Amino acid sequence: MSGPILRVERLAKSYGALRVTNDVSFAVEPGELHAVIGPNGAGKTTLIHQLSGTARPDGGRILFAGRDVTRATMPERVRLGLARSFQITTILPRFTVLENVALAVQARSGSSFRFWRAAGHDPALNDPATALLDRFGIGTRAHMQAGFLSHGEKRQLELAIALATDPKLILLDEPLAGTSHEETRRIVEILRELKRSCAILLVEHDMEAVFALADRVSVLVYGEIVATGAPDSVRADPAVRAAYLGEEAA
């Protein structure tokens, strides 16, 4: 496929008089890890909500894999291959780890209006799920209830769930929030590995991780993209230094 996998054109969103996203445009290329950074209140979370389908933009367009998905619901976008993870860990706590992932596999493999055959021992669901758990380093936890996992393991599980939907692009909303140093290192490894499977749009505060992982970085300030480019050029960009890395530059 040619052209970007995700193209965002002049996206805008206001809450009352507050313009949260104000004319945001950028594109994510296939296979790319594109990071969006920006100071607190820059509108990063709202952007994620608009891209994933939980918030309606007031203006602009979102093109995914060549299709206009501006008005599509979250499940519709996921089925087209636009997966997301949440800022606050969102798993099914009373399901086992394996079941969490198997359910995501099930979502992309045919109809779920099947009422008779037991899903729990279906190799068509469990085998891909097990493989993903192994790949994300939580294979030994497969039969534990997901709610009992450690914080870092839950983040890993969430990535496995997102990948299980067979996405072309994953939106990651601060996957490193609240993780320990050790967990951060492991998840960065996993993201590097994840990059081989699909494009990633990463919203993250951890600059060290962003500059280590990203192919390109977009900087969001007050609801606008002020710079986009390779990590080094963005780091050197005077507009960015002024607006965002201000105190460092001084």
Rule CB under 8 A: which residues touch another protein? 52, 73-76, 78-79, 83-84, 86, 90-96, 99, 103-104, 106-108, 112-120, 122, 145-148, 161, 164-165
Q: What is the DSSP letter of 53?
A: T
Cβ atoms within 10 Å, residue 211:
15
Q: Of the candidates 172, 151, 214, 210, which has an alpha carbon nearest to the alpha carbon of residue 87?
A: 172
Minimal distance, residue 166 CB to another protein, in Å: 10
Indicate the residue among 80 and 245 with the shorter CB distance to another protein: 80
Q: Side-chain half-sphere of 16: how many Cα atoms within 13 Å? A: 1
- C-beta closer to another protein: residue 40 or 115: 115
- Closest approach, Cβ 247 to another protein, in A, equals 32
Query: How far apart are CB 220 and another protein at their closest, in Å?
Result: 22
Cβ at position 119, least distance to another protein in Å: 5
**CB-nearer residue toward another protein: 25 or 145:** 145
Question: Nearest-CA neighbor of 63 among 2, 1, 9?
Answer: 9
Sign of torsion over alpha carbons 10, 51, 37, 14 = positive
Pick the closer one to another protein by CB: 178 or 246: 178
**Residue whose C-alpha is closest to residue 123's, from 98, 141, 148, 146:** 98
